[in-house]
Amino acid sequence: MFSIGDFARLGLVSVRMLRHYDALGLLRPAHVDPSTGYRSYQAAQLSRLNRIVAIKDLGFTLEQVRAILDDKVSADELHGMVRLRRAQLEAQISADLARLRGVEARLRSIETEGHMKTDEVVLKKVAPVTVAELSARAASYDSEDIGPVIQPLYRQLCDRVEAAGVAIAGPGIAYYVPEDDGSVMVHAAFPVTTGPRPDLDFQVVALPGIDTAATIIHHGAMEDVGSTFQTLAHWIEENGHRSLSLAREVYLHCPDNAAEWVTELQIEVAPA
């Protein structure tokens, strides 16, 4: 038998927590001295304590812990619960980090207000191009919604184009079409020299040219593209233009280091 203090040290919990587990009926002492009220525990009870702490730390309430233990959860089942919870936590961490990067990007956009280099905007004509493309829906234009959609699209498109023996004839082009429900259809494309074929598992479409496009070069990761788009928007308004279509992104240089990316942003414009 072990005193409550010794059992707490062996189980790596506090005495207060053991008393709480006792009060809830989660882990009763093996013996309680009737005259002193001192609690004593057996080494075999460490097994139940381990399960209580593990299941609680997975995010379950103590009431849920008791229900799970009453079902006599096995070690294998507990491992499965841990793997599931790990996946959930990792997904939550990824989402939180993406949200944090989005906030930081917004702050960088705020910091550039009043210091926008609108002299870097160039008006030009964009030729029509035939592209191989895949598309998928994103919840919004937010970078944390667009990124997880467009990145897999480009990986899949590269694999499918290569498997089909189709040559890529230029840098990647992305464009976006708003849906009535507020979502966005994301199109990931590469210029190609082939036409549509029934054996292809991707679309081949003609992307129309743009008579007059206001363009600007964005240097760096796409999560920071907001400030560059805003620079382009200010130029369009200040120079008496109006936008006719949503932007295209042309990925001119895409090394492994996203901070070194070079992307041309294009918006079709006309006199206001």
For each of the domains in the chain, give its residue range(s) and CATH number, in order of start: 2-73 (1.10.1660.10), 118-271 (3.20.80.10)
157 three-state secondary structure: helix
pTM: predicted TM-score of the whole model, two decimal places: 0.63
Q: What is the pLDDT of residues 73-92, one digit of tens each?
A: 677 777 777 788 788 888 88
Res. 54: pLDDT tops 80: yes
> In this predicted structure, what is the pLDDT of residue 22?
92
Q: What percent of the chain has pLDDT over 90?
A: 49
Q: What is the pLDDT of residues 15-40, one digit of tens each?
A: 999 999 999 888 999 999 889 989 99
Higher pLDDT, 105 or 207: 207
Q: Distances in Å between the alpha carbon of 230 and those of 56, 177, 267?
A: 47, 19, 12
User: How many Å apart are CA 148 and CA 169, to the nearest integer?
Assistant: 25
User: How many Å apart are CA 141 and CA 143, to the nearest integer?
Assistant: 6
- In 29-138, alpha helices (H): 46-57, 62-70, 75-112
Res. 68: pLDDT tops 90: no
> In this predicted structure, what is the pLDDT of residue 113?
65
Burial 84-108 (b: 16+ CB within 10 A, else e): ebeeeeeeeeeeeebeebbeebeee
Three-state secondary structure string covering 29-42: CCEECCCCCCEEEC
> In this predicted structure, what is the pLDDT of residue 171?
96
Angle at 145 between CA 139 and CA 151, to 5 degrees: 120
Select from 34, 55, 36, 2 the least CA-distant residue to 21: 55
Res. 209: pLDDT tops 80: yes
Q: What is the pLDDT of residues 235-251, one digit of tens each?
A: 999 899 999 877 899 99
Q: Could you give the count of Cα atoms lying within 13 Å of 127 in the half-sphere of its Cβ?
A: 5
Q: In which band, very low, low, confident or very high, does the pLDDT at 107 lie, cut at 50, 70 and 90?
A: confident
Angle at 255 between CA 146 and CA 233, to 5 degrees: 50
255 three-state secondary structure: coil
